[in-house]
Chain A
Amino acid sequence: MMVPDRGALVSLLGKTEGDAASTLAEHRQMLRQRLMEGASGAEVMAALTEFVDGLIIGRYRNVMRQAGEEAQVAGAQHCCLVALGGYGRRELAPYSDIDVMFLYREEAGEAAPALSREVLHHLWDLGFQVGHSVRTIHDCTELAAKDLTIRTSMMEARFLTGSPQLFQEFHRRYFRQVVGRRTDRFIEQKMDERRREYEKFGETVYLLEPNVKKSKGGLRDLHMLQWAGMARFQAATLQDLAGRGILSRQDFLSLTDAREFLWRVRALLHFGADMAQEILSFDEQIRLASLYGFQDRPHLLGVEQFMQQYYRHTMGLHEISVRFVDRCRAVPVWRRLTRFLPATKVDGHFEVAGQRLTVPSELRTRVLDSPDLLLRLFEMARARGLKIDTDLLDEIHRHMDGVSDEAFRAPEVSRVFLKILAGPEAVAGTLEAMHRAHLLEKLIPVFATVRGLMQFNQYHKYTVDEHSLLAVAKAEALAQDPGVIGEVCREIRRRDLLHLALLLHDLGKGREEDHSEVGKAIAEETAARLGFDEQETRTLVFLVHRHLLMAHTAFRRDPYDEKVLLPFARAVATPEVLRKLLVLTAADIAAVGPGVLTKWKESLLIELYLRTLPEVSGERDEAAGPDRIKKLAGEVARELADVAAGGLGWIESQLGQFPLRYVYGTAPKRIAAHLGAIKRLQVGEALAEGSFNKERGACEYTVITFNDLTPGIFSKIAGVMAAQGLQILDAQIITRHDGVVVDTFQVSDPDYAGVPPVERLAATADTIVKVLKGEEAVERLISRSNRLPSARRLPTSRQATEVQIDNETSDRFTIIDVFADDKQGLLYVITHAIFQLGLSVHAARISTRLDQVADVFYVTNQEGVKIEVPSRLEAIRTVIEEEIDRFLDQQVDAPERVSSGSS
């Protein structure tokens, strides 16, 4: 054979390379065409692998032929080309990297580097990204011990051309010396590696713009399974695993389906971008959805249907992979453990071995058929931080598909479910496991419909189910937050209700109606399923229905505007609901995506929270600490000096009798005045004093007495005020621990434009004392006065009266929140109703603004204890609401009579 001179060789090679490049381009074009016409991803990958194999093998042979006899012998006997990684698996996507290894023996001499260089340059010229290495067998085993990636890629080595004997020798030695050794460590390391990848490419399957290869549920999870299978069972392929019964038939089918789906999507992405594009962006999702023939339906876009399919595949793939890999590593660990640690039976049905929780096989059927036991299984795993055996989870999943959710409608099941929701630890993780086992949807049937339902907007990063579960996780994390939100979160009493509301809040998505309205119905249905009482139902429904209220109010409205603040307070109504709503709002925002809940947003939410809290709790902030008491006592002493009171010790002990909110919410001067009066107060007496407060432009009455002087003190004072035609703006009712009552009222006096005369103040104060001492009857005063149905202008449109009972906020008191339109005399009506109900008011906060009252009463029954009986609570609520409405409607119904009466 004539050997061409160097120049001719170069030109010849140049020509061939040019041809090869255009052939490659043509071939890609042809594959793109076939793919568009419906060819499978597998077909395209196989065709491309075959084509590239041809190019490389052809090139190797050409170079060998042209390099002289010595090189030919070396190339055929002492060298070979090996495909690695994805190329080794014959899984070349259109623009995948090409990973090749040039394997040689020392005998190859000079020929080896030359040959390998030529092949490499050829691939470069064709525009491939090439991973290229030149190694001896010894290098291979040595490098594999040091480098995890190299170790993995060589597990998938495939012979291309050169010496087959050399390859076989490599393969034999590699599997004996590397793959089969330190398997546990290898699997652990790969899992670590994958976990780091999740951190980088998405901790959830439900990323809205996933990476088809590296995100959770991506092709990498499948590789992970194959690597583990290869290391543990020396099984090279899925078919192999399935054939040997290591992989169940069902899993095998799901995996191959998911694999084909991802392969095809990946090929389309590569062709779409003309590069190795692995991210399924929004634009590409739209393109692919229409390519797959998904049509927009009224309330579910084509792209959302496409992505739901995508997530179903990736979720399935991820779950199978995790289970499988877990089994690969777990078997020996578990056996080793149980050799020393016999499984302990717990709770009659469960078995704990190490960190694993399982059900012995003879009891499985019984557990699977008992919703109650299933829930207890998850609760036990949660409470003890155990991991439920993957096989068992698998079995539950399979079993659940044939079980009706009606079986889960039982008080005992609900009880355990709420226990799981209450936590405090590992709530989200447990719920997620229940969701994966298809158990959660038996308790909340709607959860099945939002599985993998994406929200096609730039704002959300996760699908609805993932977002909901993540929101629960965020709420759990917020409980550790050192700031105000964390503090509030830790104060929440019914964490289960919060978590349940977070699970439900977005389940109304993907339907025609507004998702909050659908959510409301879902919340009602869930409350009924779980057997909630009236208050639990109301809280849950409110939180789900109005889950956007706080965000909207905080971000779009002015919290310093009472027209904003009061309706918000009215809607929220109780401190406990406010706390839950704050945490729910923050957790919801945080679960939209990383970095969405900023400090900026937090501060707006906190501001609204702090502004609203006094409106719903009747309390200003409570500071604590003996230092402040001492300091305050000193300040009070200075004010008291002229009264020559009992000194600092006495003042301190007196302060100790007051509730904290009084101590920290009252000016030292005023406290001094009150203490002076208390010192003068005789048993069986009452002191009342009126003065005009210039700053506020209102009269102020202080009443000091003992709470056993007469029942219904508050109601009686309110009655006197009403009879006198006074409008109560604000009231503070304080009952000291020793029974001393210190009530202050801010009132406006419509009879006097400016400062009312001293006689007027004295007369009112005097009447109050008389009534309290029983010398005058309040009913008679009122009937004598023609003022009650006063001429005070009513708001034009009447707002619904709202009376809510809050039994959660305080351990000692039942709290009654009242929101209503204001009308002169209303407070008397309310307090009278409370009195008639046999309740005693220990504290109250009355505020009137913008024709609205927001009143809060802390009450107990006559024995001084909180009311617990639900029917009694409901009766209290109804009676007060009816009394208010009757009173307010009186005037609305008969405006003429009122105007004539007051003229």
Chain B
Amino acid sequence: MKLIEAIIKPFKLDEVKDALLEIGVQGMTVTEVKGFGRQKGHKETYRGTEYTIEFVPKVKVEVAVADSLVPRVLETITRSAKTGSIGDGKIFVRDLSAAVRIRTGETGETAL
């Protein structure tokens, strides 16, 4: 099992969600996050006052999936979250050692 964590542009969320549901992802966790990558933050000037936007607003999508689904999920997110311009985001994959469905107590891949 892997936990796939994708940091994407906020307005891409619907597209990514729909694309993931289409390939059989059962659920996801979505968080409003802020951060920066190579894009860094930027400064906005408004009426002569500078407002530093150090961290850019992004959305974090987390999905836990069976190993077999990982390549498709990565491909799907990459395709649906891409605009081609700077700041499209990143995907991180981590090993997932256990999963439990709280209601039933099921564990492992059946709990995903």
Contacts and interface: CB of A to CB of B under 8 A. Distances in A.
Nearest to B31: A600
Contact of A621 (B9, B33, B47): B47
Contacts of B14: 556
Interface string B47-64: 111010100110000000
A484 B46 contact: yes
B10 interface: yes
Contacts of B85: 560
Contacts of B9: 558
Interface string B17-28: 000000000000
B90 interface: no
A264 to B, nearest CB: 34
B47 A622 contact: yes
Contacts of B13: 556
Interface in B62-91: 83, 85
Contact of A558 (B44, B46, B83): B83
Given A558-B9, A558-B83, A603 B49 contact: no
B42 to A, nearest CB: 10
B69 to A, nearest CB: 27
Contacts of A488: 46
Given A555-B11, A557-B11, A598-B32, A487 B53 contact: no
A624 B32 contact: no
Contacts of B40: none
- Residue with the highest number of chain A CB atoms closer than 10 Å, among B14, B32, B47, B56: B47
A600 B11 contact: no
Contacts of B44: 484, 606-607, 610
Nearest to A557: B11
- Residue with the highest number of chain B CB atoms closer than 10 Å, among A603, A607, A625: A603
B56 to A, nearest CB: 8
Interface in A575-623: 598-601, 603-604, 606-607, 610, 621-623
Contact of A610 (B46, B49, B83): B46
A555 B10 contact: yes
A14 interface: no
Contact of B48 (A558, A600, A625): A625
B51 A484 contact: yes
A774 interface: no
Contact of B49 (A487, A491, A601, A607): A487
A604 B10 contact: yes
A599 B51 CA distance: 13
A429 interface: no
B50 to A, nearest CB: 9
Interface in A249-302: none
Interface in A80-104: none
A795 interface: no
Interface in A557-584: 557-558, 560-561
B101 interface: no
A487 B47 contact: yes
B45 interface: yes
A600 B46 contact: no
A109 interface: no
A870 to B, nearest CB: 30
A18 interface: no
Given A558-B83, A560-B85, A623 B45 contact: yes
B26 to A, nearest CB: 21
Interface in A723-738: none
A483 interface: yes
Interface string B92-108: 00000000000000000
A621 B11 contact: no
Contact of A603 (B45, B48, B53, B83): B53
A600 B32 contact: yes
A625 B47 CA distance: 11
Contacts of B56: 603
Given A555-B10, A560-B85, A600 B57 contact: yes
A610 B57 CA distance: 15
Contacts of A556: 10-11, 13-14
A601 B57 CA distance: 8
A604 B48 contact: no
A372 B34 CA distance: 52
A598 B33 CA distance: 11
B46 A621 contact: yes
Nearest to A621: B45
A487 B46 contact: yes
Given A598-B32, A603-B53, A603-B57, A558 B47 contact: no
- Residue with the highest number of chain A CB atoms closer than 10 Å, among B9, B13, B48, B85: B48
B32 A483 contact: no
Nearest to B45: A621
- Residue with the highest number of chain B CB atoms closer than 10 Å, among A561, A598, A623: A623
A561 B85 CA distance: 10
Interface string A546-559: 00000000011110
B57 A604 contact: yes
Interface string A738-761: 000000000000000000000000
Contact of A483 (B45, B47, B51): B51
Nearest to A556: B11
Nearest to B34: A600
B16 to A, nearest CB: 12
Nearest to A561: B83
Interface in A486-505: 487-488, 491
B8 to A, nearest CB: 12
Interface in A770-808: none
Contacts of B51: 483-484, 606
Contacts of A598: 32
Contacts of A483: 51
A557 B32 CA distance: 16
A557 B46 CA distance: 23
Contacts of B53: 603, 607
B11 A624 contact: no
B100 to A, nearest CB: 25
A621 B47 CA distance: 6
B68 to A, nearest CB: 32
B19 to A, nearest CB: 15
B52 to A, nearest CB: 11
A601 B45 CA distance: 19
Contacts of A560: 85
Contacts of B83: 558, 561
A558 B34 contact: no
Contacts of A623: 45, 48
B45 to A, nearest CB: 5
Nearest to B83: A558
B9 to A, nearest CB: 7
A337 to B, nearest CB: 46
- Residue with the highest number of chain A CB atoms closer than 10 Å, among B34, B44, B46, B56: B46
B35 to A, nearest CB: 11
A871 to B, nearest CB: 34
A652 B49 CA distance: 23
Contact of A624 (B33, B34, B48, B57): B48
Contacts of A622: 47-48
A631 to B, nearest CB: 14
Contacts of B57: 600-601, 603-604, 607
Nearest to A599: B34
Given A487-B49, A556-B10, 9 more contacts: A484-B51, A557-B11, A600-B32, A603-B34, A607-B44, A607-B57, A610-B46, A623-B45, A623-B48
Interface of A: 483-484, 487-488, 491, 555-558, 560-561, 598-601, 603-604, 606-607, 610, 621-625
Q: Which 9 A-B residue pairs are closest in the complex by CB-CB distance?
A: A623-B48, A600-B32, A624-B48, A621-B45, A600-B57, A603-B57, A556-B11, A557-B11, A484-B46
16 contacts: A484-B51, A487-B46, A487-B47, A491-B47, A555-B10, A556-B14, A558-B11, A600-B33, A601-B32, A603-B56, A610-B46, A621-B47, A622-B47, A622-B48, A623-B48, A624-B47
